[in-house]
Amino acid sequence: MKPLTAVRSTAASHDADDTLTRLSATELAAKVAAGEISCVETVQAHIRRIEAVNPSLNAVVVKRYDAALAEAREADKRRAAGGALGPLHGVPVTLKECLDLAGTPSTFGLPSRARHAAVQDDTYAARLRQAGAIVLGKTNVAQLLFYYESDNPVYGRTNNPWNAERTPGGSSGGEAAIIAAGGSALGLGTDIGGSLRVPATFCGIASLKPTMGRFPDPGRFSLPIGQRAVVSQIGVMARRVADVALGTEVLNGGRNPACEPPMPLGDFRGVDVAKLRVGFYTDDGTFTVAPAVRRAVREAAESLRAAGADVQEWSPPDVASAQNLLFGIFSADGAEGLRRLLHGQKRDPRVATLAFLAHRSRPTLALLRGLLRAVGQRGLADSTVAFGHRDTAHYWQLVEQQMSYQRRFAEALDAAAGGPIDVILCPACALPAFHHGASANLLTAGAYAILYNLLGYPAGVVPVTRVRPGEDTARPPSRDVVQSTARKVEVQSAGLPVGVQVVARPWREHVALAAMRAIEDAASRRADFPSAPPL
């Protein structure tokens, strides 16, 4: 759909647009409510911004400009009449393409669903709109939401707004890219293995994956929905932590909602950061992190220490085993569900490779591992360890092991020196934004995020810094394709944003958000804070 004449950019409107598209969702809502700006001019400014940046990003793949402007006019009438306004009244937002919005496609990157049109909004899209948000469009994804890029045969590839040769991450990468670029004030994504948090750190924005069970993802065209040990969650993405908090409260139906079951949500503004005990780690033993990522975690830890928190180094137990547990759970059906969804489809090569490996037998994979190790490809060999089982008994054993690990992890938090830990700081990903295509070799670089999917803990990302000149890599050259790909990602990464992952105990999203806001307050005063990409 083409933008209307009313939203065509002019020189006179450029400065006003720049001002509006730099405001946070919270600021926009306040100015609309006060009558300082109209919903129509706010929506127009964001549409113009999308049209300016999207040709180079390919982030917004479904546009609903006419409908958005009509909704903005009605929103202005409501405000003028003195009607009650929702907390996001008139705020322009976007949604990840896989989420249902009436009249729009939810393809998951599958060509067979290109003509699909949802008949109604899903629960979380509906709650955003009930709060007054105006949806401008939907954003690009990885095919079947399965890897840390946003590229598929239906819509093509999305580029990172900081560097077009890099990916914005996945599978919520289109959402992260357009929010970072100022085309959307707030958006929704999903996360079953880092799909909110990896794009957030790659694009320099904030996000929050809630506790498993708070906002379960209803989508049926990604990891088979019958797998319930690790369930995808809906989450909020925005440039500022306060907006993520506001959006999370909206999705929750309020802090103390009347829905069944009620899901109380604490107020992050009431958390005293000085009373928190914080544990941090810069390397979990699964994948060596880039120098800038290590520095970002330490800077975030120092920010909380300066705010009065009790901060100490801490190591999570046996993350490599936890990583294999998650991959084993995801592939427990031998990729039959994945293969069924891909049958007769044009396949993204990264998804096709995963489906192929997950469908191989244990003896075949053992042979493949031996061959890979013999030619110096230990990284690729190790990535196949969890595959090869296709029986219910093994799946149940994996779920029992997951429960045991969850208990072991909680005990480790409780037994920390000095007392139980409230908040964990760690990398969101071992590396800054990957080059396009690199995710095929870097599956385990995201283990820092997937750990908290296995555990079900709330985990957010807050932007902290950018890679500095001269600190891009300390990784030596290697014949191992995983390590050589990682080194290539690190080299010439100066200027790319880096975020830090902030984790709290289950159902304590407000604690994570409070720590995130304190880190953001400190980081935003530094010259290398990733405030806006060079678009």
Q: Is 70 left (phi over 0), alpha (psi -120 to 50) or beta?
A: alpha
CB neighbours of residue 36 within 10 Å: 9
Give the integer Cα–Cα distance in Å for 42 and 89: 11
Query: Are the C-beta atoms of residues 215 and 519 closer than 8 Å to each other?
Result: no
Give the integer Cα–Cα distance in Å for 80 and 230: 46
Question: Which of 324, 322, 330, 318 lies closest to 385 in space, CA to CA?
Answer: 324
Q: How far apart are the first and last CA of the chain?
A: 23
CB neighbours of residue 469 within 10 Å: 9
Q: Which of 63, 96, 138, 209 is catalytic?
A: 96
CB neighbours of residue 3 within 10 Å: 17
96 is catalytic: yes
Q: Which of 195, 207, 303, 383 is catalytic?
A: 195
Q: Are strands 92-96 and 186-191 parallel, antiparallel or unpaired?
A: parallel
In 3-state terms, what secondary structure has residue 417? Answer: coil
Q: Which of 24, 150, 171, 222 is catalytic?
A: 171
Give the integer Cα–Cα distance in Å for 249 and 401: 33
Return the DSSP state at 466: E
User: To which residue do tokens 């909680």 refer?
Assistant: 410
CB neighbours of residue 11 within 10 Å: 6
Q: Is 67 left (phi over 0), alpha (psi -120 to 50) or beta?
A: alpha
With vertex at residue 460, the alpha carbon angle to CA 457 and CA 464, rounded to the nearest 5 degrees, is 145
467, 471, 477, 479 alpha-carbon torsion, rounded to 10°: -30
Distances (CA, A) of 191 to 322, 355, 459, 477: 17, 20, 10, 33
Cβ-based neighbours of 324, under 8 Å, separated by 6 or more = 385, 386
Query: Are the C-beta atoms of residues 138 and 124 closer than 8 Å to each other?
Result: no
439 is catalytic: no
Q: Are strands 277-280 and 423-427 parallel, antiparallel or unpaired?
A: parallel
383 is catalytic: no
Query: Are the C-beta atoms of residues 202 and 158 closer than 8 Å to each other?
Result: no
The residues annotated with a catalytic role in the active site are 96, 171, 195
